[in-house]
A = this chain, B = another copy of it.
């Protein structure tokens, strides 16, 4: 067992959105400094970071200098090109590793990985042509959801098919991108498990949260989820198996459907996750600090919850409710410092703190 990363060390974070921002704050709380790398014009994490590099994901020179300036690299979103990781890896450790990223950023490899692990998933078939979509639809039945294999998030890149008549338009919407057709899962709830695995293989999970989506975007997570004890432990065991199979280091989010036939894994995110934001006000160690602890070799928090929480995302115009939310008792406000309100844009979130049941 090696020593934890030394105090004062610099952690590089690929991606400077709200997740990078909250990772940077958590790292500082543990005595580390964060250097953010992002190609975007506005980098919210830059307001609370030690250093910022604004450069393209394929800028070998900038990546080399970034790698030389940091002791360790992690990332806040799963669409970091694996080529970026390949440019960084010779110069400094990257955690979680390339493998987890590669599995998670392609829906086909993700679903295949989960199925091979023996975990229940929605039925799925790869689609790379109109013909293969027709065949897949006939095999899986209606309703079904066609999704791009890559770069989809918050409901983007998805089309629902109710009948054969939808096939042509759905395929056209993919614009030729490789896709996957997923069969329908009749679920009563969607939950997520925020799980962490340390450098030494120790695993810790937070209690599952129950998610509410609108238009494909997460709007609310409640903890605890309405689950029986065996469902709760099954969900945590599923997350642990995924972590171990990937030899994962860091925090991972697992979205799970609760159906009449049992738990079905929907997707995994190899990073801190929106549905884990409640931990900021429900636990002594939140998911952001948990991720930093995992990748630096510090002991993991045990995931214990001191309060129940309802996390609500502030999306687009929701931000106009801020005056009322700032006045509400036991509500913790977390804004992301984004300069401009846009429809569907995550501007912040609030955690309503309730006594633990």
Contact = CB atoms under 8 A, between A and B. Distances in A.
Interface string A279-317: 001001100000001000011001010110000000000
Interface of A: 7-8, 21, 24-25, 28-34, 46-50, 281, 284-285, 293, 298-299, 302, 304, 306-307, 323, 326-327, 329-337, 339, 348, 351, 353, 355-356
Given A49-B48, A348-B31, A307 B307 contact: yes
Contacts of A302: 329
B304 A30 contact: no
B284 A335 contact: no
Contacts of A21: 28
A284 to B, nearest CB: 4
Contacts of A333: 29-30
Contacts of A299: 323, 326-327
Contacts of A48: 24-25, 28, 48-50
In the assembly, how many copies of this chain are there? Answer: 2
A47 B51 CA distance: 8
Contacts of A49: 47-48
6 contacts: A7-B335, A21-B28, A34-B47, A48-B49, A299-B327, A306-B330
Contact of A47 (B33, B348, B351): B33
A35 to B, nearest CB: 11
Contacts of A8: 337, 339
Contacts of A351: 284
Nearest to A286: B332
Given A48-B28, A284-B281, A33 B304 contact: no
Given A25-B48, A46-B50, A47-B49, 17 more contacts: A7-B335, A7-B337, A24-B48, A28-B48, A29-B333, A29-B334, A31-B348, A33-B47, A284-B329, A284-B331, A284-B353, A285-B332, A298-B326, A299-B327, A302-B329, A304-B330, A306-B355
Given A7-B335, A48-B48, A284-B331, A326 B293 contact: yes
A74 to B, nearest CB: 17
B50 A47 contact: yes
Contacts of A348: 31
